[in-house]
Structure 1
Amino acid sequence: MASPMSQKLEEKLVCSICLELFRVPVTLPCGHNFCRRCISDHWDKQRQAAAGTEASYTCPECRRCFERCPELEKNVTLHSVVELARDSEERGCAAGRCEAAPAELCRRHGRPLELYCEDERRCICSICTVRDCRRHRRVLFEEERAKKQTLLTESLEKAQEESERIEQAMKELELQTESIKEFPLLPPLESPEVLVPVEFDVAAVIKPICEILTSISRLLLEDLPGCVAPKAPGPADQDPVHPQELAVKALAPLPKCQLRAELLKDHRNLTFDPETANKYLEVSKGAHKAKHRPGTVPGQGQGPRFEPWQVLCTQSYGPGHHYWEVKISSHSVILGVTYRGLPQEQQQGHRFNIGLDGSSWGLQVREDCYLAWHKGHAQKIQEQLYKNLGVSLDYGKGLLSFYGLGERTKLIHSFHSVFTEPLYPVFWLCEGRVVTLCQRD
Structure 2
Amino acid sequence: MASPVSQKLEEKLVCSICLELFRVPVTLPCGHNFCKCCISDHWHKQEQVPTGAEKGYTCPECRRGFEQRPYLEKNVTLCSVVELARDGEARVSGTERCEVAQGELCPQHGRPLELYCQDERRCICCICTVRQCQRHRRVLFEEERSKKQALLKESLEKAQEESKRIEQVMQKLEEQTRSIKDSSEGLKSVILSKFALLKKALEDCQWQTVARIEQEQAAALGRVEEDWSLMKDRLDLLGQHRERAECLLACPNHRTFLQEFPLLPSPEILKVPVPTEFDVASMVKPIAEILTDVSRLLLEDLPGSVAPKAPDPIGQDHRNLTFDPKTANKYLELSKGNRKAKHSPSAVCGQQEHGPRFEPWQVLCTQGYGHGHHYWEVKVSSHSVVLGVTYRSLPWEGQQGHKFNIGLNGGSWGLQVREDCYLAWHEGRREKIQEQLYKNLGVSLDYGKGLLSFYGVGKRMQLIHSFHNVFTEPLYPVFWLCEGRTVTLCQRE
Q: Shorter-chain TM-score: which interval?
A: 0.3 to 0.5
Normalized per residue, the structure richer in helix is: 2
TM-score (norm 1): 0.44
What is the TM-score when the length of structure 2 is the normalising length?
A: 0.40
| Bigger RCO (CA 8 Å, 6+ sep) | 1
